[in-house]
Amino acid sequence: MMSVSSSNMAISMGETPASQSRTRIAFPNAKVNLGLQVRKRRKDGFHDIESVFLPIGWTDTLEIEVLTEGEASALHAHGLAIPGAGSNNLILRAHALLSQEHTLPPVRFHLIKAIPMGAGLGGGSADGAFAINMLDTQFELGLSHTQREALAAKLGSDCPFFIRNTPAHVTGRGEHIHPIQLNLKGWWMVVLHPGVHISTPTAFAWVSPNDQRPSLSTFENSNPSDWSGTLHNDFTEAVTQRVPEVAQALKILQSMGAVFADMSGSGSAVFGCFPTEPDSDWRRTIPQGWSTWSGPMDH
Are 172 and 278 in contact by the 8 Å Cβ rule? The answer is: no
Are 121 and 202 in contact by the 8 Å Cβ rule? The answer is: no
- 76 burial class (0-12, 13-18, 19+ CB within 10 angstroms)? buried
**Which among 148, 155, 76, 64 has a CA at the least distance from the CA of 105?**
64
**Which among 177, 170, 180 has a CA at the least distance from the CA of 220?**
180
Are 239 and 263 in contact by the 8 Å Cβ rule? The answer is: yes
**Which among 131, 75, 138, 128 has a CA at the least distance from the CA of 105?**
138
Q: Just list the catalytic residues.
A: 31, 158
Distance CA 54, CA 191 (A): 13
Q: What is the CA radius of gyration of the chain?
A: 19
Altogether, the residues listed in the chain come to a count of 299
Using the 8-state DSSP alphabet, how is residue 58 labeled?
E
